[in-house]
Structure 1
Amino acid sequence: MKLAGRAFLAALLILAAAKHALAEEPKSSGTGFTVTADGWLMTNAHVVEGCERIEVKGRGIATDPRIDSTNDLALIKVSSDKPWTALTFRRAPTRLGEDIVAIGYPLADLLSDSVKITTGNVNALAGLKNDTRYIQISTPIQPGNSGGPVVDRDGFLLGITSATFSKKAADEIGITAQNVNFAIRASVADLFMQSQSVISLSGDKATGQPVLSTADLADKIAPSVHQVLCYGKLEPQASVQREETVTSLPRPAVSGTLLDATGYDAIGFDYATLKDVSYQDCRNACDSDGQCKAMTYNAKHRFCFLKNDVVALIRNRDAMAAYSSSKAAEIIMSDFTSYSGMDIPGGDYKRIRQTNYLECFVSCIGDNACKAFAYVAKKKECWLKDVLGRPKATKGIELGVK
């Protein structure tokens, strides 16, 4: 009996060891940070896309992922009995050269698995090819930093770590660029949150409040920053760290005489509107009409807009566009993102009266100072803006942000 008991115990130990050895390992990891007191976290879309299961280490399994692939943002929700500490979005605009801090979990499988902090500066107020959704930062970025917060010296959120200048791009230009990294502006993330009915905290530094030391800043921000683990099948395009070389439109899929562009709105002159139809109905209507050069389908409202001309494509997460291959060489490759029912108060430097949306859009594209435009359809007014402030929901306004 003793020998049988020992053999049984040994078998249990072997089985336990085997289970431990076969424990599931994450496919990739990144960083997220709390944006609401009830457990919503922000991270990069490329951190969580393609995951069968998402875990916020030490807090639980994330559910209800909300993805904005166009702007590389994602929201995930975790239910937990422990309290959440949300970061505050800064209202004041980002300044060139200001001191910043990035917090995250870089190289957690090689270095320590604790949160890490790096300091740097805002090097430029735009990203690659003048993409004003981004700021360029000098804080060192490594795989695992993706989705982490970039804060000012008072702990207010300025951006979300997203990308670094790739080795491939460096090889192509023959220059090894140092500390060329990019963060998505907090204002872009705030727009995404509003589109998902998730309300952020916002604020500014109180007058006379002293600047925090790096150590005190780490103590303040670290409780809001968490490691995000991706388990299961990972899609080929997903990665721990995205490397940017250019900002461009997705490569369209060719089908007949029309080219598809999901997540975009075709900007042109509408000559017909179809209501309560499917995307395929909309596409077929354009394909069979000789004067139709492009179409936009609004999935949210099931509206179809047929256009007899097209000049540009503008990002819109609720839209699906298609355009004639004969117009492909003429279309402006726009870096704008469109938001319905949104406005950015302030920053207006030019008003254009008795105009339409297309003319408003083209006016902003042709003006280097313009970072955004707001079109008021009821008044046929266009407002050009040179400052990206805090957005808010506003009925009747069509907002376009570079």
Structure 2
Amino acid sequence: MSVLFRVLFVLVSCASIASNCLADSPTSYGTGFAVTSDGWLLTNAHVVEGCVRVEVRGKGDASDPRVDANNDLALIKIAAPEPLKPLVFRRAPTRLGEDLIAIGYPLATLLADSVKVTTGNVNALAGLRNDTRYIQISTPIQPGNSGGPVVDRDGFLMGITSATLSKETADQIGITAQNVHFAIRASVADLFMQSQSIDSQSGDRAPDQQAISTADLAEKLTPSVFQILCYGKPDMQASTKPPEASTSLPAQPVTPSLIDARGYDAIGFDYRTLKDVTYADCHQICEGDDRCKAITYNTKYGVCFLKDNVVALIRNGDALAAYSSTKAASVIVSDFTSYSGMDTPGGDYKRLRNTNYLECFTACIGDNACKAFSYIPKKSECWLKDSLGHPRATKGVELGVK
């Protein structure tokens, strides 16, 4: 069979069974990475939305997509015959100017189809229009990078590659901005995972940890990063443009949105308490009040606490929290767990008088010796503990445990 005949045969076959040809070729590409050992991957919502089928290259088809379109995040599941190596979320806050590394599969149909590593730094602690869900990064971003991890020089996850300034934006402002790219903060992704009852791993740099070279980081982390293939996206099938994944940001909210944090208590200053309301009511009231920056809703008693500030999130199985996206850059997602009406005897080494819950929490989190604290609202008294006894029910005590 001549070369010309083979080409004509393929063209005629594709014309007569177009749907099968389209189904056999990916219509767009992106990147994802392991966040659990049992097969959950994190990526961007725009990488997987609208796909008839999602394939993780080398791992087969993905299933059970969980999508947060507002924050451009998605979770997908693969059948992992062997445990994956999940990336570890960084606990420490992001610092302006610090070095970072982006890993992904940019321009895989044009360049080598292998994973690629690029370096840069943090240019700004917010995205477009001061959107603190994002950090601005100088790491070069191309179509196909979307959904890939952005890590610090110790290999901890700082963000998820999301977007770069589009040509349309450049045309609007009349300037071709160079090297302006954005990543969704890892803390926003962590809360999304919590909302889906999927636990992440988190950690911090050890005091004696030595700097890791880019080559060593690449060798360590790239086995956790995968190419995501989207098949049959209707809007892509009708287009003759090459697939592009990282060309524009998600629509910005007109007003600051609330980021949900289920299973957490927002630590801040309460200015209003509402009883016998639903979480949806609490959420809506806060969104309509310019003063409100966060809420905590007690599911056991149906009580809503409106807060005009928020500094941290503390785990609480009886609570649902939400906080303003304008606070995302400064909120600490702590490993503390809060218990109402509980105490642990013994271990007290410091008492703080005339204090509030927030000051008690801050004192403990800033003291390496502190393992827990007991706060007594009626006495405005805080006890810091360096060891834990057996928990017991104690009326009028708020217990926080690291």
| Fold agreement, TM-score > 0.5 | yes
Distance 1:240 1:47, change over 3 A: farther
TM superposition shift of 1:53: 1.2
TM superposition shift of 1:199: 1.1
Distance 1:245 1:65 in 2: 21
- On the 8 A contact 2:104/2:115 being kept in 1, the answer is yes
Distance 2:250 2:41 in 1: 28
Distance 2:69 2:314 in 1: 20
- The residue aligned with 2:186 is 186
Distance 1:64 1:221, change over 3 A: same
Letter in 2 for 1:398: A
Distance 1:26 1:354, change over 3 A: closer
Letter in 1 for 2:258: T
Distance 1:107 1:390 in 2: 39
Distance 1:393 1:60 in 2: 37
- On the 8 A contact 1:124/1:135 being kept in 2, the answer is yes
- The residue aligned with 1:352 is 271
- On the 8 A contact 1:162/1:184 being kept in 2, the answer is yes
TM superposition shift of 1:47: 0.5
Distance 1:30 1:149 in 2: 12
Distance 1:171 1:66, change over 3 A: same
**Residue 164 of structure 1 pairs with residue 164 of structure 2:** yes
- The residue aligned with 1:32 is 32
Distance 1:352 1:173, change over 3 A: same
- The residue aligned with 2:322 is 399
Residues 148-207 of structure 1: CA deviation (Å, up to 9, x unaligned): 001111011111001111111111111111111111111111111111111111111111
Residues 353-380 of structure 1: CA deviation (Å, up to 9, x unaligned): 54795675566x459xxxx523346665
Q: Secondary structure at the match of 1:218?
A: helix
Residues 257-282 of structure 1: CA deviation (Å, up to 9, x unaligned): xxxxxxxxxxxxxxxxxxxxxxxxxx
* Contiguous gaps of at least 5 residues in structure 2: 15-20, 276-281, 326-402
Letter in 1 for 2:294: F
Distance 1:225 1:395 in 2: 35
Stretch moving more, 334-343 or 74-83? 334-343
Distance 2:181 2:197 in 1: 30
Distance 2:134 2:314 in 1: 16
- The residue aligned with 2:123 is 123
State the TM-score, normalizing by the size of structure 1. 0.66
- The share of aligned pairs that are identical, in percent, is 55
Q: Secondary structure at the match of 1:334?
A: coil
Distance 1:196 1:235, change over 3 A: farther
> Map of 1:242-391 to 2, 5 A cutoff?
242-244=246-248, 247-249=251-253, 333-339=254-260, 341-343=262-264, 348=268, 350-354=269-273, 357=282, 361=287, 365=290, 373-376=294-297, 381-385=305-309, 387=311
Q: Secondary structure at the match of 2:206?
A: coil
**Residue 219 of structure 1 pairs with residue 142 of structure 2:** no
Letter in 2 for 1:93: P
Residues 373-399 of structure 1: CA deviation (Å, up to 9, x unaligned): 233466654334465x66745423331
Distance 1:212 1:344 in 2: 36
- On the 8 A contact 2:291/2:308 being kept in 1, the answer is no
Distance 1:184 1:245 in 2: 11
- On the 8 A contact 1:146/1:240 being kept in 2, the answer is no
Q: Secondary structure at the match of 2:307?
A: strand
Distance 1:215 1:124, change over 3 A: same
TM superposition shift of 1:77: 0.7
Q: Secondary structure at the match of 1:335?
A: coil
- The residue aligned with 1:144 is 144
> Map of 1:9-24 to 2, 5 A cutoff?
24=24
- On the 8 A contact 2:194/2:262 being kept in 1, the answer is no
TM superposition shift of 1:342: 3.9
> Map of 1:193-208 to 2, 5 A cutoff?
193-208=193-208
TM superposition shift of 1:400: 2.3
Distance 1:71 1:393, change over 3 A: farther
Q: Secondary structure at the match of 1:191?
A: helix
Distance 1:99 1:183 in 2: 14
Q: Secondary structure at the match of 1:70?
A: helix
- The residue aligned with 2:209 is 209
- The residue aligned with 1:106 is 106
> Map of 1:58-137 to 2, 5 A cutoff?
58-137=58-137
- The residue aligned with 2:376 is none
TM superposition shift of 1:34: 0.3
- The residue aligned with 1:241 is 245
